[in-house]
Amino acid sequence: MSEASARPIRLGLVGIGKIARDQHIPAINASPDFELAATASRSASVDGVPGYRTIEEMLAAGHDLDAVSFCTPPVGRHDLVSPAIAAGLAVMIEKPPAATLSEARAMTRAAEIAGIPFYTSWHSRAARHVEDARSWCAERQVSRIHVEWREDIRQWHPGQEWILEAGGFGVFDPGINALSILTAILPKSVVLSAATLDVPRGRGAPIAATLQGTSGDAAFSADFDFLQTGEQTWSIHLEDAAGETLSLIEGAGAMTLGGERQPASEDSGEYPHLYAHFATLVREGRSDVDLSPLELVADAFLLGEHRATEPFSF
């Protein structure tokens, strides 16, 4: 990347859906580190940027790319990412990194062999108060952890049938954001002991779930719901052995200590942080891979009691 270090990183973007338009493209356009050079999508494009239907067509077009960012659903991610790795391009992946652990590990190993930067991004880890919570946990003995992650699938994923198909993660698509924060802030690993998965009849992925387990001596529980209407809830509540409490609310965009809301510093947003980090990885030739949130979701599917619920339609 010696040549690329003197100019913006020429980026290809694969998958032009809601998350790409809402988050990735604004962050890329605002970044001094990147130039959006080409896109690949079966059904959409970006004005003023060369667009192709497949990643193979995009790579063959010769846009002198340095890196590729993937914003597609997790199913089939391995087949999409493999051509970019084979071409020697740095890779960034939207969460969750893949539909299966074996697929995620195969991509990671392929990137290691190819010697290219590989980044499994977790956007919620870039939320404003995650580092504050990590410091709080490091200084005390956490005794209780409870997650409430409830949102409206119709609001955030309108018409996205894939998310309730097998491999689409269902409620764990947002729920894995909470797990990505927990695995970043807790000094000890979360170990699941039980789970329930509520799957609508005719669907392949859960629309609600509960988890139970431990993190060291701390009791862990989580409530995930994709049918929350009205006010949305993205909260993580922590209590230490002395009874002191910390709550990450609004997806860790805000925080309370002892119930009192804490002042917030200015913040550029989660996706600008991700792309700034990816630029550093690309220029330094390093990777950043963490599959622990995906491992917890896999454990939930292995352990979970599957309960059939009423059919769901968008």
Annotated catalytic residues are 95
- The 3-state secondary structure of the chain, one letter per residue: CCCHHHCCEEEEEECCCHHHHHHHHHHHHHCCCEEEEEEECCCCCCCCCCEECCHHHHHHCCCCCCEEEECCCCCCHHHHHHHHHHCCCEEEECCCCCCCHHHHHHHHHHHHHHCCCEEECCHHHHCCCHHHHHHHHHCCCEEEEEEEEECEHHHHCCCCHHHHCCCCCCCHHHHHHHHHHHHHHCCCCEEEEEEEEEEECCCCCCCEEEEEEEECCEEEEEEEECECCCCCEEEEEEEECCCCEEEEECCCCEEEECCEECCCCCCCCHHHHHHHHHHHHHHHCCCECCCHHHHHHHHHHHHCEEEEECCCCC
